[in-house]
């Protein structure tokens, strides 16, 4: 996933809507540019994602009211948009959507602190250590939050009923 897509993806999942996410990414890119001096090497991606996440906290903190316009309608609409451009075929996209709707909903419904660890781990493929750096929490907390998040997801998804 290219870096700008990475940034936007995280911002969308954190903010819950694309308009806020684009503002977050724009601001985050400016900050990244400004703080390039503080980039100390290693993988650029977690460094950038940390800026995106911090920017999201700042901007969403200022404007709480815009939250939660997301999902059901919004996500279906955006799926349809992307179908027009880069999806293989409408049929495939439709099947894909049906399969993933519940999963998307379940993740979107997670409390923010659990949602962000799941997104960073499963979508951005960050290691525990990198997640710990992005969220500024100990690795032990990363592990317990991930574990809890997975449990919450399985509880929410009918497929995983025991």
Partner 1 sequence: MTERIAIDCALREAYLDGELSAVESAAFDRHVAACAVCKRELERDLRLRSDLRGGLRRYKADDALRNRILAHLPAEPPKLRRREWSNRREWLSMAVAACFGAVLAGSASFYTLRQPNEDLWAEAILKTHLRATLSGHVLDVASSDRHTVKPWFSGKTSVAPVVVDLASAGYPLLGGRLDIPETEPLPVLVYRAGPHLVSVTVRPASGDRGVTVANRDGFSIAEWREHGFAFSVVSDADANELGAFQAAFSHALRTLP
Give residues in contact with partner 1 (CB under 8 A): 1-5, 7-9, 11-13, 18, 21-22, 25-26, 29-30, 33, 36, 39, 41-45, 75, 78-79, 82, 86, 96, 99-100, 103-104, 107, 118-119, 121-123, 125, 127-128, 143, 146-147, 150, 153-154, 157, 159-160
Q: How far is the CB of 42 from partner 1 (least distance, A)?
A: 5
Residue number, 54 or 97, with CB nearest to partner 1: 97
Measure Cα distances from 61 to 109, 122, 146, 152 in Å. Answer: 19, 25, 24, 25
Helices (H) and strands (E) in the chain, counts: 8, 0
Alpha helices in 35-127 (DSSP H): 44-62, 73-85, 90-109, 112-118
Residue number, 54 or 101, with CB nearest to partner 1: 101
Residue number, 27 or 54, with CB nearest to partner 1: 27
Residue number, 78 or 109, with CB nearest to partner 1: 78
Q: How far is the CB of 54 from partner 1 (least distance, A)?
A: 17
Give the count of alpha carbons within 13 A of 155, CB side only: 8
- Only one residue has tokens 């962000």, namely 116
Contact 118, 146 (CB under 8 A): yes
Q: How far is the CB of 64 from partner 1 (least distance, A)?
A: 21
Q: How far is the CB of 9 from partner 1 (least distance, A)?
A: 5
Residue number, 1 or 69, with CB nearest to partner 1: 1
Helix (H, G, I), strand (E, B) or coil at 162: coil
Q: Output the CA torsion sign for 10, 1, 27, 79.
A: negative
Q: How far is the CB of 117 from partner 1 (least distance, A)?
A: 11
């Amino acid at each position: 996933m290219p870096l700008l897509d990475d940034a936007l993806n995280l911002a969308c999942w954190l903010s819950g809507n694309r308009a806020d996410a684009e503002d977050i990414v724009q601001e985050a890119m400016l900050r990244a540019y400004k703080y390039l001096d503080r980039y100390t090497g290693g993988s650029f991606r977690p460094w950038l994602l940390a800026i995106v996440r911090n920017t999201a906290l700042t901007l969403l903190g200022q404007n709480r009211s815009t939250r939660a316009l997301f999902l059901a309608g919004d996500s279906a609409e955006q799926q349809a948009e992307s179908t027009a451009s880069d999806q293989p075929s409408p049929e495939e996209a439709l099947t894909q959507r049906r399969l993933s709707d519940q999963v998307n909903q379940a993740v979107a419904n997670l409390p923010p602190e659990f949602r962000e660890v799941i997104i960073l781990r499963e979508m951005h493929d960050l290691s525990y250590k990198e997640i710990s750096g992005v969220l500024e929490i100990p690795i032990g907390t990363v592990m317990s939050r991930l574990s809890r998040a997975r449990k919450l997801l399985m509880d929410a998804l009918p497929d995983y009923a025991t």
